[in-house]
Amino acid sequence: MGRGEELFAEAQRYIPGGVNSPVRAFRSVGSTPVFAARGKGAYIWDADGRRYTDYIGSWGPLILGHAFPAVTEAICEAAKNGATFGLPTEREVRMARLITELVKGVEMVRMVSSGTEAVLSAIRAARGFTGRELIVKFSGCYHGHSDSMLVKAGSGLATAGIPDSAGVPAGTAAGTLTCRYNDLEEMKEIFAAGRDKIAAVVVEPVGANMGVVLPAPGFLEGLREITAAAGSLLIFDEVITGFRVSLNCASGYFGVTPDLWTFGKIIGGGLPVGAYGGRRDVMSVVAPLGPVYQAGTLSGNPVATAAGLAALETLKNDSGVYRKLSEKGEKLRTGLASVFKNHGIEASVQGLESLATVFFTPAPVSSYDDAKKSDTARYARFWKSMEKRGILLAPSQFEAIFLSAAHSEDDIEYFISAADEAARAGEI
Ligand SMILES: *Cc1c(COP(=O)(O)O)cnc(C)c1O
């Protein structure tokens, strides 16, 4: 038995399923967890010393790669001066100012400790500001695990949200309506039925939790118009896209300005961080300025803020970083697409910038309904064939490949040639 297997056996005695977040169980590819021991740049080493090129990237935060020196130094330096005070610190001011400088439309920012917390807080602020209760989300979009966001696809106002998880009160789920991604017609119907009750529409401006699904041309603009006309707020959940698709986030990239934003992942530099922000008048409802309560013992934590600030400042000061990420993403997507085409494997390789997903579908995916048509057994075979060759992909069809600045051209070429070899060997 390897060390990883030993650890997993022991973990299952003390931790539900042996993991602290379900996707780490690797069940949907019929495997068991890779126990990580250390990481450097684009690589990780597991508990048995096996090296992988890592395309999970901790599910989004690691745009600079593992143990990026400036981030590691910032963490150590901050920790030496005290891990937490429960008092405001200078770096929180710098972080908030930097976000407002980089993201057009963000005038005020509140820091929290996870993406989940960012979204639930932004929703509370939206409800407090509008005095309305309903929230519309899109099926296939993930906004963290708060009760009101764990809601399955229903259709329009007629079908109130049905909880996607046990333990979510039906009454809570009923406050969340769902719409098909990229479907403005359905959104118009939802607003026709209840426009004066809808506090906000929350959307991933690039869907990245059902595999990577791009917003169709006009989709985000349409959401902006519909919400503005109804006096509802538009919330961009940029926990993945923020500072990944561009330094100015997805709102800057697509030129659509929501009322509120949520951030996480990259802004923590690998430590637990989230933030929400937006229009000054909306953010002014948050306590102690206004009546919407939201708080956190470790919010704006000095060590986490130092890590996030180091990451953001690196991204801001390296003028070529996004162009290079973009080129590598393009190279990977076109390379993989031609491998599958050459071997007669039905696949849609989608994404943009440093994000990608290989959907084993005959047609491009533009909604969760499309994504669900994927051949997940084939994805599991693909996953295993790559794992065998030292390439670590997300253990699910419905996740993203995350590239980092640390992935080299050679890493990308190796990935493409490994896929070609596996396809040739009939392993996919
Ligand atoms: C990861 C994610 C979240 C939740 O963030 P956590 O830090 O895991 O709580 C929310 N929204 C989106 C779009 C995410 O990808």
**Looking at the predicted structure, is the pLDDT value of residue 156 above 60?**
no
Residue 251 to residue 224: CA distance in whole angstroms: 11
Lowest mean pLDDT of 38-47, 150-159, 236-245, 281-290, name the range: 150-159
Instruction: From 191, 198, 210, select the one nearest 143 (Cα to Cα).
Output: 210
* pLDDT at residue 390 in the model: 98
The stretch 149-164 carries a mean pLDDT of: 58
For 228, other C-beta atoms within 10 Å of its C-beta total 12
Residue 133 to residue 123: CA distance in whole angstroms: 9
- Told to judge if 197 belongs to the known catalytic residues of this protein, a careful annotator would answer no
pLDDT, tens digit, 9 for 90 and up, residues 400-409: 999 999 999 9
The stretch 311-330 carries a mean pLDDT of: 97
Residue 335 to residue 89: CA distance in whole angstroms: 47
* pLDDT at residue 170 in the model: 86
**Looking at the predicted structure, is the pLDDT value of residue 166 above 90?**
no
Helix, strand, coil abundance in the chain, percent, nearest 5: 45, 15, 40
pLDDT > 70: what percent of the chain?
Answer: 97
- Told to judge if 328 belongs to the known catalytic residues of this protein, a careful annotator would answer no
* pLDDT at residue 153 in the model: 36
Kindly report the average pLDDT of the chain as a whole number: 95
Residue 178 to residue 51: CA distance in whole angstroms: 41
Residue 201 to residue 258: CA distance in whole angstroms: 10
Residue 366 to residue 255: CA distance in whole angstroms: 20
Q: Contact 157/196 with Cβ under 8 angstroms?
A: no
User: In angstroms, what is the span from residue 60 Cα to ligand 1's centroid?
Assistant: 9
- Told to judge if 265 belongs to the known catalytic residues of this protein, a careful annotator would answer yes
**Looking at the predicted structure, is the pLDDT value of residue 160 above 80?**
no
User: In angstroms, what is the span from residue 232 Cα to ligand 1's centroid?
Assistant: 23
Q: Which atom of ligand 1 is nearest to the CA of 240?
A: 15
Query: At CB < 8 A and 24+ separation, what contacts does 319-326 make?
Result: 321/405, 322/246, 322/247, 322/353, 324/405, 325/63, 325/353, 325/354, 325/403, 325/404, 325/405, 326/353, 326/354
Q: Does residue 115's CB lie within 6 angstroms of at least one atom of ligand 1?
A: yes
Ligand 1 pocket test, pick from 111, 135, 209, 276 with the greatest ligand atom count within 8 Å of Cβ, gives: 209
* pLDDT at residue 159 in the model: 45
State both tokens at 240. Answer: 């993945």
Q: Contact 290/271 with Cβ under 8 angstroms?
A: no
User: In angstroms, what is the span from residue 117 Cα to ligand 1's centroid?
Assistant: 9
H helix or E strand, kind and range, residue 418? helix 409-424
Phi then psi dihedrals of residue 146, to 5 deg: -70, 150
User: In angstroms, what is the span from residue 271 Cα to ligand 1's centroid?
Assistant: 13
Give residue 161's pLDDT band: very low, low, confident or very high (50, 70, 90).
Answer: low
Residues sharing a CB contact under 8 Å with residue 14, sequence separation 6 or more, in sequence order: none
Residue 191 to residue 395: CA distance in whole angstroms: 37
Which residue's alpha carbon is nearest to atom 14 within ligand 1? 239
Which residue's alpha carbon is nearest to atom 6 within ligand 1? 115
Residue 89 to residue 92: CA distance in whole angstroms: 6
Q: Which residue has tokens 């529409």?
A: 201
Residue 87 to residue 223: CA distance in whole angstroms: 39
**Looking at the predicted structure, is the pLDDT value of residue 373 above 80?**
yes
Q: Which atom of ligand 1 is nearest to the CA of 144?
A: 4
Task: State how far the alpha carbon of 257 is from the alpha carbons of 103, 179, 216, 234, 298, in Å.
Answer: 9, 20, 16, 9, 30
Q: Which residue ranges form the domains of the chain, and what is each CATH number?
A: 3-67+319-424 (3.90.1150.10), 69-317 (3.40.640.10)
Lowest mean pLDDT of 134-138, 192-196, 352-356, 388-392, name the range: 192-196
Q: Does residue 116's CB lie within 6 angstroms of at least one atom of ligand 1?
A: yes
Q: Contact 259/125 with Cβ under 8 angstroms?
A: no
Task: State how far the alpha carbon of 82 is from the alpha carbons of 76, 269, 272, in Å.
Answer: 10, 18, 17
Q: Contact 247/102 with Cβ under 8 angstroms?
A: yes
